[in-house]
Amino acid sequence: MAYRALSEEEAKEYALGIPGLFEQGAQLTSREIGDGNLNLVFHLQDKKSDRSVIFKQALPYARVVGESWPLSLDRARIESEALQLQHEILPGLVPKVYHFDKELSLTIMEDLSDHIILRKGLIEAKTYPEFAKHIGHFIAHTTFYQSDFFLAPEVKKQKLAEFINPDLCKITEDLVFTDPYYNAEKNSFNPLIEEQVKELWVNQELKGQVAQLKYKFLTATEALIHGDLHTGSIFVTSASTKVIDPEFAYFGPIGFDIGAVFANFVLNFAAQEVRIKNVEQRNVYQQYLLESIHQIWDVFEQQFTLLSLSQATDPSLRNEAFVQQFIQQVKEDALGFAGCKVIRRVVGLAHVADLDTIVDDTERAYAEKLSLYVGQQLILHRQKWAKEQSISAPIRSSF
């Protein structure tokens, strides 16, 4: 079947044509629920058995902007293959893929509607005691098993070719590393922070450091990374974590995924500065956010080290000094990428609800200025901060 964007009705018909997806005689409801920037997402449910599934279909253009911004449909293949690889490594931490249709760029997967999007939970100042452990585990395992530590060199190179993702990488290259640092047309920011944004544009030291991080994003092929691991790509309950939406997956720097999570916790921290009015409550919640950053790093470091020293396929890489130095570099990268991701959410095209839903313009500007400041500190001091005992202490003291 040639590509066409499905309607809710067509999604139903399609579902009934897949053997075994629903029972015979299923009475389906179908609802488009996508809230992302790029794709269609349908929720399909059988009224009789209550069984439900999710359809995710790529559109040939960016939904946020429209048809003037074409995007390769191949990202749907990349997403569905990345989900299946991640599911093999960590079945508990990603949705199960039931079916993929290449022509329609359509993935049918497990319905996670009993979870909530982590960003939403964090905005409501909820805590998730298992999350840091789960995500540290997720990043350590998915990257280790899709890196040169584990894959034979020829297999890695083959896989690298299968995950060439130029359109989506270009979005990151432009929106994260380029546009926020000059007066780009796609930028969008609160007029009340114009002065601070203009300071970014003339900060040569900062721009030099961002160029280093961009170059790393362009050239490092350390592991198959998720590529878009913000808190809107993570579903949670108090006991469970599920990572979705790996359409930006490519072989890139491991620190990029860790940095994405850190950035979103930093943005939430800044937003809570004005969201939670009670000082004591605010301190407690912000402390939780910092402890999460700390724990994510600890779990990642511990598990990546363990995997490298016990399971690296090439014995010459199973070298303690090398592994330690490699992880130190990942830490530095994670802090720098976190800074870039904080700044782009304030200055660039796509913002985060944590900040954008602060109704009062002045309060929002206050939280945005804080974010910009901490984002710059993360980039400029990443080398020094990576050497400190605690990864979260310098973040805390820069607020």
Residue type, 225: I
From 247, 257, 354, 368, residue interacting with ligand ADP (rule: CB under 6 A) = 247
Q: Which residues are 30's β-sheet partners? A: 44
Taking the least distance from each CB to ligand ADP, the nearer of 94 and 327 is 94
Q: Does 54 bind ligand ADP (CB under 6 A)?
A: yes
8 A C-beta contact, residue 83 and residue 138: no
36 binds ligand ADP (CB under 6 A): yes
Q: CB of 57: closest distance to ligand ADP in angstroms?
A: 10
Confirm or deny that 180 is annotated as ligand binding.
no
Rounded Cα distance between 191 and 285, Å, is 29
Q: Which residue is nearest to Mg ion (CB)?
A: 36
Q: Are 249 and 79 in contact (CB under 8 A)?
A: yes
Nearer to ligand ADP, 41 or 299 (CB): 41
**Cβ atoms of residues 27 and 1 within 8 Å:** no
Region binding ligand ADP by CB under 6 A among candidate stretches 104-112, 203-211, 300-308, 358-366: 104-112
Residue among 34, 96, 133, 159 that touches ligand ADP (CB under 6 A) = 34
Which residue number has the CB closest to ligand ADP? 36
Q: Among 95, 252, 375, 394, which residue interacts with ligand ADP (rule: CB under 6 A)?
A: 95
118 binds ligand ADP (CB under 6 A): no
Q: Is the Cβ of residue 110 or residue 130 nearer to ligand ADP in the bound state?
A: 110
Closest approach, Cβ 85 to Mg ion, in A, equals 17
Work out whether the CA dihedral 153, 159, 161, 167 comes out positive or negative.
Answer: negative
Q: What is the DSSP string of 13-41?
A: HHHHTSTTTS-TT--EEEEE---SSSEEE
112 is in an annotated binding site: yes
Kindly state the tokens that stand for 147. Answer: 């890196």
- Looking from the CA of 250 toward its CB, the CA atoms found within 13 Å total 24
Helix (H) or strand (E) holding 55: strand 52-58
Q: Which does 113 bind (CB under 5 to 8 A by kind): ligand ADP, Mg ion, none?
A: ligand ADP
Among Mg ion, ligand ADP, none, what binds residue 109 when CB lies within 5 to 8 Å by partner kind?
A: ligand ADP
Q: Kindly indicate which of the ranges 34-42, 253-261, 280-288, 334-342 contains the residues binding ligand ADP, using the contact rule CB under 6 A.
A: 34-42
Q: Which of these, 205, 195, 341, 181, lies nearest to 270 by C-alpha position?
A: 341
Q: Which stretch binds ligand ADP (CB under 6 A): 100-108, 112-120, 191-199, 327-335?
A: 112-120
By CB under 6 A, residue 258 contacts ligand ADP: no
Compute the least distance from the CB of residue 38 to ligand ADP, in Å.
Answer: 4
Query: How far, in Å, CA of 347 to CA of 344, rounded?
Result: 5
Q: Does 52 bind ligand ADP (CB under 6 A)?
A: no
Considering CB distances under 5 to 8 angstroms, the limit depending on partner class, which of ligand ADP, Mg ion, none binds residue 380? none
- The least CB distance from residue 397 to ligand ADP, in Å, is 34
CB 21: neighbour CB atoms within 10 A? 17
Question: And the tokens for 17?
Answer: 């044509």
Q: Any binding-site annotation on 245?
A: yes
For helices 166-175 and 204-219, the axis angle rounded to 10 degrees is 170
Residue with the two structure tokens 């994510």: 296
Query: Residue 281 interacts with ligand ADP (CB under 6 A)?
Result: no
3-state DSSP call for residue 125? coil
Strand 97-101, strand 106-110: pairing: antiparallel
- Residue 109 as a binder of ligand ADP (CB under 6 A): the answer is yes
Q: Which is nearer to ligand ADP, 56 or 156 (CB)?
A: 56
- Closer CB to Mg ion, 167 or 363, in the complex: 167
By a kind-dependent CB cut-off of 5 to 8 A, residue 56 interacts, out of ligand ADP, Mg ion, none, with ligand ADP
Neighbouring CB atoms inside 10 A of 382's CB total 25
Tell me the C-alpha distance between 145 and 139, whole Å: 10
Look at residue 90 and give its three-state secondary structure.
Answer: coil
Q: Which residues bind ligand ADP (CB under 6 A)?
A: 33-39, 41, 54, 56, 95, 109-113, 117, 232-233, 244-245, 247
Binding-site residues for ATP sit at 39, 56, 110-112, 245-247
Annotated binding site for substrate: 228, 344
